[in-house]
Amino acid sequence: MNKSVAQKRILKLRAEIEDLRYRYHVLDDPKVNDAVTDSLTCELRVLEKEFPELRDPLSPTERVGGKPLDKFVKVKHSTPMLSLNDAFSRADLEAWKERIKKLKSDFKGSPKSDFLEYFCELKLDGLAVSLIYKDGLFLRGATRGDGYIGEDVSENLKTIETIPLKLRTPFPKMIEVRGEVIMAKKTLRELNRVYEKINKPLLANTRNAAAGSLRQLDPKLSRERHLDFFAYDITEISKLGSSTPTWELSSQVDTHSNKHDFLRQLGFKVDKHEAVCRNLNEVWSFTEKIGKMRPNFPYGTDGVVISVNQTELSKRLGFVGKAPHYAVAFKYPAEKATTVIKDIIVQVGRTGVLTPLAVFTPTLVAGSTISKATLHNFNQIERLDVRIGDTVVIQKAGDVIPEVVEVLPKLRVGHEKKFKMPTHCSVCGSKVEKKEMVAYFCANSNCPAKNIRGLLHFARALEIDELGPKVLNRFRDEGLISDASDIFALKKEDISGLERFGEKSAENLIVSINARRKPPLWRFLYALGVLHVGEETAQDLAERFGILEKIMTAELEEIQAVPNIGPIVARSAYEFFHKKENIDLIKKILKTGIKILPAEKRIAGKLFGKTFVITGTLESMSREEAKEKIRALSGNVSESISSQTNYLITGESPGSKLARAPKLGVKVLTEKQFLNLL
């Protein structure tokens, strides 16, 4: 066969194999035979080997996976991949609807009709990804990451049969598709049976298995996990002949339901459990129906996503924080199971908090096999009267964190033992102290358990993925690391000489560490592990103070005046930055040459730099709605009044803040005056 004939045959084979893939995965055509597909693929592979110049990176044969990667490249999402707010009841859905109606009524030229159309679909339990196609060809795929920055996992995504490498015509010039990478329950069971035979650690659940499989540096390993993909949204699209994304779209994407139909036309697999609903009664009926069907689905689901169906309205509704106004995730009650407590142990966290854990025989809950569940704190043990030997009810709160929620005392046999909180740390032997009414702490700042968990948190917060618990323990044992500053002082020659660490792995680790030498202020604050300071609080602090030095020298009242920060969190932050050992650690970290980037200034809106406090009941809106309006115009909102407050908004039945305002020099606004400011 000459090259010309081979080229024609290759193109026909690729088209036929892709068509068979579409018919099998998207149309569920039972007539498609695996043997036929395999035979055609085999012929194509032979021809491509014979004529390597005719190979195409998007050929069906390339799904077997490319070469292993050294690391994943970070990519920025042009449209943020937002998370959804949760709803757990009919009342939560009603409240969400009312918020939408209120926002809608504020639109200029808003129609008088309150009619809303909803679209319901399954919330699949996997890993959200973004796929970009240009001229119908797969260009890039990335994980959600933190919603703004993800990882390029294109090579791994190409191994998933249900992701088209070429779109079916007619396709737009450019399109970004969002969807979920999942692992079927059956696949998880089959893989675990194999792993059990070869003494390999079992995969915990379908969600973790899908996420871990997609983040394998070797695409061949991803392919072996037999992942699946369901598309659920189109976030950017451009018409034929134009490279500029536009939301002035044709009828193909003017509603969420039409988007699903268009995705199917393009060759994507879209879950069939969906419904367009005219009111919340229909929405509720759909959630009830899915709730009954859910245990029998071949894949994991953790709820129903309910969206405003109209695309243009969704865009106008916008988002707050990291969640859109136009959609909500309805979550089903956490799955529960019963088990017998064999022991209660205490775990030391990165801040020194002692958390009691119930230990029991491995038990299946919400699709995961677990052997430990949190008891939260000693007060919870006393409240539930939990004893070793008790039969208890465990659940996965939010389908994620296993916890003990109930004791079944009638099943006691008389041999149960009450638990006593230890007086000394089980790891270092130091004295245990009680703080904040319910929490017990290890008083030793150098406790090995606190130290290693703190180091792990620091590494994860700065996204130094190569520094896992085993590596950190090894480095600590070798004397290479004792605190966070030592991470940035590591040298290639320190590592490469260690057993199981070669030149390449040592070099990769140092490259990864050096890439994190310029963290944004909020990420560095979060990495420090300040008690009660999570990612959002760290962002609030960074936005308010701008640079690290101002946070470290801030007075307690200044920190407490930061929006969304209450007295407990403020005191925790204040005490952390005024503790000598923490100040010394920060100085040591800075001496390693890292540069903490100042917080980016927000675009100055009308209320930029102004801090508001609200007291009393507002007539035209709720407090939360008022706060949203202030923040939308770049203003700040605080729960407590201080000399840093610019305005006190007063509603009906104001509290003591009204009397304090004149003494602090704070201007008092009526609700009408506040509305005039907007």
DSSP 253: S
CB 596 within 8 A of CB 521: yes
Query: What does 464-515 look like in DSSP terms, one character per residue?
Result: -TT--HHHHHHHHHTTS-SSGGGGGG--HHHHHTSTT--HHHHHHHHHHHHT
Q: Which helix (H) or strand (E) holds 559?
A: helix 556-560
Q: Is the dihedral of CA 274, 276, 280, 282 positive or negative?
A: negative
User: Active-site residue 123, yes or no?
Assistant: yes
Taking Cα atoms as reference points, which of 589, 568, 583 lies closest to residue 485?
589
Q: Are 171 and 133 in contact (CB under 8 A)?
A: yes
The helix/strand/coil state of 10 is helix
Q: Which helix (H) or strand (E) holds 87?
A: strand 86-87
The one catalytic residue in 97, 104, 123, 629 is 123
Distance, CA of 424 to CA of 583 (rounded, Å)? 27
3-state secondary structure of 165: coil
- Joined together, the tokens standing for residue 134 give 């240009």
Which token pair is 358?
């119930």
Q: Using an 8 Å Cβ cutoff, are 100 and 342 in contact?
A: no
Assess contact for 237 and 175: CB atoms under 8 A. Answer: yes
CA distances from 395 to 42, 71, 185, 300, 416 (A): 48, 36, 20, 17, 22
CA 182/CA 184 separation, integer angstroms: 7
Cβ atoms 124, 230 nearer than 8 A: yes
* Residue 614: DSSP 8-state: E
What does residue 631 show for φ and ψ, rounded to 5 degrees? -65, -35
Rounded Cα–Cα distance for residues 300 and 228 (Å): 12
> Quick one: how far is CA 484 from the chain centroid?
25
What is the DSSP track for 391-438?
EEEEEEETTTEEEEEEE-GGG--S--EE----SB-TTT-PBEEEETTT
The C-alpha atoms of residue 246 and residue 236 are separated, in whole angstroms, by 7
The catalytic site residues sit at 123
